[in-house]
Structure 1
Amino acid sequence: MQLTRFTDIGLRIVMRLAVAGEQPSDTTPMTTKDLARELAVPYTHVAKVVGRLAEMGAVHSRRGRAGGLAITDLGREAQIGWLARTLEGPGEVVDCEGSQPCPLRSACRLRGALARAQRAFFDSLDEHTVADLVRDPTGAVLLSLSPPPPAPPTDDAPGNRHLPQHR
């Protein structure tokens, strides 16, 4: 079973927001840009996931100068299986009815076995909440996240072309 990148990012976002504000220096709310930098994920991906998490009620998002993101009580106490199921959306592990339907679909036992395995996977994740996952040592690591350093300029960077060499 493999989760989509969307779900992976969503789980990391709720985990990070669950520990936000736990340090005395954390007085400003996190923004989508902050999360993108800290989690090393493209901003556009984070924005889409945050929108979905807000629709689900796991995250509160406020725009404007005093805006930012915060995890809700629902988000903090959410079962990981529920979050993953909801972020993944409906669907089976395999698509038997796609553009070229599987010739075994009318008598296949694999489809049912995979559906049971998928349910068991999500059910096992339901044994954990976001609050469980951010207990130390994970919480401490989440609080220590910082944006990756900027990439060093290369000789081919637009601003570095044909610069005179000073000695």
Structure 2
Amino acid sequence: MQLTRFTDIGLRVVMRLAVAGENDADTTVLTTKTLAAELAVPYTHVAKVVGRLSEMGVVHARRGRSGGLAITDLGQGARVGWLASSLEGTGEVVDCEGPQPCPLRRACRLRGALARARTAFFTSLDEQTVADLVREPTTAVLLSLTPHPPEAAADPARAQT
């Protein structure tokens, strides 16, 4: 099973917020923009993810000049399986009813087997909390993230066009 990019970004955002302020040198106010730069993902994607995490009660977002993002107590102790399945949504692993419906759908056992496997996948992730994911050595790596330059600036050939 492959998680969507949305879920991947969501998990990375939560992990980064979970270690914010863990050392005295980390005084950066984390915003959607700084997270996007640190995690090297598009700002628009991070903005959508932060909105969803805020709706879920995992992240507290303050707008405006003194704004920023912070993980909530719920987010800090969240089970990874719950978080991932909430971000993924309830869709099925395969689309049997799409524009070209599968001719096996009335008597297929694959759909049920895949649904059970999906449930088992998220259940196994529930053995870990966000706090578990960010223990050392991950804490040090998360705290050492620095903003990445935009792709055009990183590639001299693209910067000249």
- Using the alignment, how far apart are the partners of 1:80 and 1:141 within structure 2? 19
- What's the counterpart of residue 122 of structure 2? 122
Q: How many residues are aligned here?
A: 158
Find the structure with the greater CA-based Rg: 1
Q: Identify the residue that residue 59 of structure 2 maps to in structure 1.
A: 59
What is the SS of the residue equivalent to 1:75?
A: helix
Q: How does 1:62-73 map to 2 (within 5 A)?
A: 62-73=62-73
- Greater shift, 141-150 or 129-138, is seen at 141-150
Residues 81-135 of structure 1: CA deviation (Å, up to 9, x unaligned):
0011110011110011111111001000111110110000000000000000000
Structure with the higher helix share, 1 or 2: 2
Aligned to 2:39: 39
The one-letter amino acid paired with 2:101 is P
Distance 1:155 1:143, change over 3 A: closer
Q: Unmatched 5+ residue regions in structure 1? A: 159-167
The equivalent residue for 1:145 is: 145
Q: Is the 8 A contact 2:26 2:143 kept in 1?
A: no
Letter in structure 2 aligned against 1:26: D
Shift of 1:155: 8.4
Question: Aligned partners of 2:159, 2:89: CA distance in 1, in Å?
Answer: 43
- Assess if the C-alpha contact under 8 Å between 1:29 and 1:70 holds in 2: no
- 1:123-154, Cα deviation, whole Å (9 max, x unpaired): 00000000000000011110011112442644
1:1-167 matches, cutoff 5 A:
1-149=1-149, 150-151=153-154, 153-154=156-157, 157=160
State the Cα distance separating 1:28 from its structure 2 match. Answer: 4.2
**Separation in 2, partners of 1:25, 1:68:** 18
In percent, how many aligned pairs have the same letter? 77
Q: Which letter maps to 2:65?
A: R
Deviates more, 1:27-36 or 1:60-69: 27-36
Cα distance in 1 for partners of 2:157, 2:107 equals 59
Q: SS state of the match for residue 64, structure 1?
A: coil
> Which residue identity is paired with 2:7?
T
- 8 Å Cα contact 2:81/2:124 also seen in 1: yes
Letter in 2 for 1:83: L
Would you say the 8 A contact 2:58–2:72 is kept in 1? yes
Aligned-partner residue type, residue 151 of structure 1: A
> Unaligned stretches of 5+ in structure 2?
none
Q: TM-score, normalised by structure 1?
A: 0.90
Q: Which amino acid aligns with 1:16?
A: R
CA distance in 1, matches of 2:96, 2:158: 51
CA distance in 2, matches of 1:74, 1:155: 43
Q: Secondary structure at the match of 1:120?
A: helix
Structure 1 residues 99 and 155: CA distance shift in structure 2, 3 A:
closer
**RMSD over aligned Cα atoms:** 1.4
